[in-house]
Amino acid sequence: MTIIANPIYDAVFKFLMEDKKVAKIFLSALLKKDIIDLEMRRHEYTSMEHTRISLFRIDFSAKIRENDGAEHLVLIELQKTWLITETLRFRQYLGTQYLNKENIIEEKNEHGQRRTYGLPIISIYILGYPLGNLTEPVVYVHRRYLDYDDNPLPSPDPFIESLTHDSIIVQIPFLTGRTRNRLERLLSVFDQEYRQADSEHYLEINDEHLDDEVKCVVHRLLKAAAAPNVRRAMEIEDEILSEIEDRDTTIMMKNKEIEQKEQLIEQKEQVIEQKEQVIEQKEQVIEQKEQVIRSMIKMLCKNGTSIEEISKQLSMPVELIKQYID
């Protein structure tokens, strides 16, 4: 058995992907394409220690070889999160890639004309939670070029490639026990079933019968486990995630309190509305009574009955009867 650092931690994953050979192995397996060259983009890693956020992001520019032998540049945006509340931030980061002028390239077409277009973007999302009803550990979302009748069109166009992107989603919870292919064997180092009982910082894996690529990844994670700065960074992440959980718990409790207060206000508003309806009904009854009294007084006056006599008959003050007559 071998003890390795747990790559669910951003510091460990960053350490892992900073190794160019390991990054090429991982990304090549995810893309299912050969990666000829790979460069990590500068200033793309945002430390949790400084930002107090729970989302990790790192970008690569890569030259890849398609199955037909064609080679071209792409931008690979790799994002990882363990909190479902952070998902919307993915859209914000993706938007910055479309706006970034560094992602614009200029090339000549077959007619010798210069064309400017954006690098094709491939977004990879590594999630620590399941997506709805999808139970596959890795989900591919590919663009398709179709005509009006849904017939496939042959070759991609740089203009369209600049405005759309493919996505790959990895669901960590569904990796457990999956080693059916090259990618799943590599991703098995994320399997949280291998966590040590006394520390979530480390995984205990069986290093027998590992292929060369997985051995390369494991060797890098062994180095991460021995690096003091990585170990300290994992402790900091635990503290930050604890703060986030406390924050979310506080927000949840406040939301519940607000909801209860809103229900109470709604109940009071209903009571007030009911009382207003009762008052309105009483006012209608009073109005109806006054109309009856007014009609009686007019009828008695028409018959020649004096105000004093009407006062006696209706048991009402003379002044009030005069008001009705007026």
279-326 pLDDT, tens digit each = 999 999 988 888 888 888 888 888 888 888 888 888 888 888 888 776
165, pLDDT greater than 80? yes
48, 54 Cβ separation under 8 angstroms: yes
The 10s digit of each residue's pLDDT in 46-105 is 444 444 455 677 889 899 998 888 888 888 888 887 766 556 667 666 777 776 777 777
Residue 175 lies in a domain: yes
Q: Which of 206, 226, 246 is the last residue of a domain?
A: 226
172: nearest Cα among 129, 125, 221, 205 = 129
Exposure string (b/e) for 17-47, b if CB count within 10 Å is 16 or more? bebeebbbbbbbbbbebebeebebbeeeeee
Instruction: Give me the pLDDT at residue 275, please.
Output: 93
Is the model's pTM score more than 0.85? no
**Higher local confidence (pLDDT), 243 or 211:** 211
128 or 97: which leads in pLDDT: 128
Same domain for 144 and 289?
A: no
Residue 238 lies inside a defined structural domain of this protein? no
Residue 155 has pLDDT above 60, yes or no: yes
State whether 120 and 78 are in the same domain: yes
22 and 97 share one domain: yes
Say if residue 64 is in the same domain as residue 186: yes
Q: Indicate whether 59 and 179 sit together in one domain.
A: yes
Of 227, 177, 176, which is closest to residue 19 (Cα–Cα)? Answer: 227
pLDDT above 70: residue 42: no
**Is residue 248 included in any domain, yes or no?**
no
Question: Per the domain annotation, does 84 fall within a domain?
Answer: yes
Task: Return d(Cα 45, Cα 63) in angstroms, integer.
Answer: 21
**Highest mean pLDDT pick, 5-9, 160-164, 304-308:** 5-9
C-alpha span between 326 and 316 (Å, rounded): 15
Q: What is the DSSP letter of 229?
A: H
Nearest residue to 28 (alpha-carbon basis) of 43, 13, 17: 17
Q: Answer yes or no: do 212 and 260 share one domain.
A: no
**Do the domain assignments include residue 232?**
no
Percent of the residues in the chain that have a pLDDT greater than 90, as a whole number: 31
Q: Count Cα atoms within 13 angstroms, Cβ side, for 243.
A: 12
Q: For residue range 249-264, list pLDDT tens digits in order.
A: 788 888 888 999 999 9
Please check whether residues 210 and 76 belong to one and the same domain.
Answer: yes
The residue type found at 103 is N
- For residue 319, the SS3 value is helix
Question: For residue 250, is it within any domain?
Answer: no
What ranges make up the beta strands (E) of the chain? 2-5, 34-40, 55-65, 71-81, 104-108, 114-118, 121-127, 138-141, 165-171, 195-196, 199-205
Residue-level pLDDT at 206: 85
Let me know whether 132 and 261 are in one domain: no
- In sequence order, the 6+-apart residues with CB closer than 8 A to the CB of 143 are 160, 164, 165, 166
Query: Does the pLDDT value for residue 143 go beyond 80?
Result: yes
The confidence score (pLDDT) of residue 108 equals 67
Into how many domains does the chain fold?
2
CB 239 within 8 A of CB 35: no
Q: Does 241 reside within a domain?
A: no
List the domain range (segments joined by +) for residue 172.
2-226
pLDDT at residue 134, as a whole number: 87
Residues 132 and 263 in one domain: no
Check whether residue 78 and residue 175 sit in a common domain.
yes
Higher pLDDT, 107 or 134: 134
Q: Are residues 55 and 196 in the same domain?
A: yes
| Residues 79 and 39 occupy one common structural domain | yes
- What tens digit of pLDDT does each residue of 219-277 get? 999 999 999 999 998 888 888 777 777 777 788 888 888 999 999 999 999 999 999 99
